Chains A and B, each alone.
Chain A
Amino acid sequence: MDRNKAIELIKAKTLGCLTKDEETEFKEYIENSEDFPWDVLGEYQNLTSMLPILLKLEIPDSELKDNVARKLYKIIEELKAKQQAEVTPVPETETVEAEPELETKQEEEKALPEEPVKFSIDDGSSLSEPDLSPVSSENALDLPLAEQDVEEKSGKEKVEKIIDEKLERQRTIEYIDTHHKEEMAVLEGASKRNKLFSIILFVISLILLGVVYFLLSSEISSNREEIEKLKIGFDGSHTILQDENLI
Chain B
Amino acid sequence: MSKNNNNSDKEIILKIAGNDSKALEELYDRYSPVLFTLISKIVQEKSAAEEILSDIFVIIWQKIDLFDSEAGNVYTWMINLARNKAIDFAKRNRNPEEMEEYVDEYENENIIPHLSTSAEPMDLDKVLSMKDKINDSFNKLTEAQQYVLNLAYYQGYNEKEIARELNIPLPTVKSKISIALGNLNKNLAAEE
B-binding residues in A (CB < 8 A) = 7-8, 11-12, 14-19, 22, 38-39, 41-61, 64-65, 67-69, 71-72, 75, 112-120, 123
Contacts and interface: CB of A to CB of B under 8 A. Distances in A.
A19 B76 contact: no
Nearest to B42: A52
A119 B20 CA distance: 9
A147 B61 CA distance: 43
Contacts of A15: 149, 152-153, 177, 181
A50 B162 CA distance: 22
Contacts of A123: 21-22
Contact of A16 (B71, B76, B134, B152): B152
Query: Which 4 pairs of residues, A with B, have the shortest CB-CB distance?
Result: A42-B119, A42-B116, A17-B152, A52-B38
Contact of B134 (A8, A53, A58): A53
B174 A47 contact: no
A42 B50 CA distance: 29
A23 to B, nearest CB: 9
A64 B134 CA distance: 30
Contacts of A45: 73, 76, 80, 113, 115-116, 119
Given A48-B153, A49-B75, A58-B37, A114 B53 contact: no
Residue among A22, A58, A75, A114 with max Cβ neighbours from chain B (10 Å): A58
Contact of A113 (B34, B61, B153): B61
Given A39-B118, A67-B50, A113-B19, A46 B73 contact: yes
Given A52-B83, A71-B54, 20 more contacts: A14-B181, A15-B149, A15-B181, A16-B83, A16-B87, A17-B156, A17-B159, A17-B177, A19-B159, A42-B71, A43-B185, A49-B122, A55-B38, A60-B33, A61-B50, A68-B54, A116-B21, A119-B25, A120-B25, A123-B22
Contact of B58 (A12, A57, A71): A71
Contact of A12 (B50, B87, B174): B174
A64 B8 CA distance: 24
A64 B83 contact: no
B135 to A, nearest CB: 6
B96 interface: no
B131 A115 contact: no
Interface in B44-78: 49-50, 53-54, 57-58, 61-62, 71, 73, 75-76
B105 to A, nearest CB: 15
Contact of A118 (B21, B37, B116, B182): B21
A115 B22 CA distance: 11
A57 B119 contact: no
Given A15-B152, A68-B28, A60 B157 contact: no
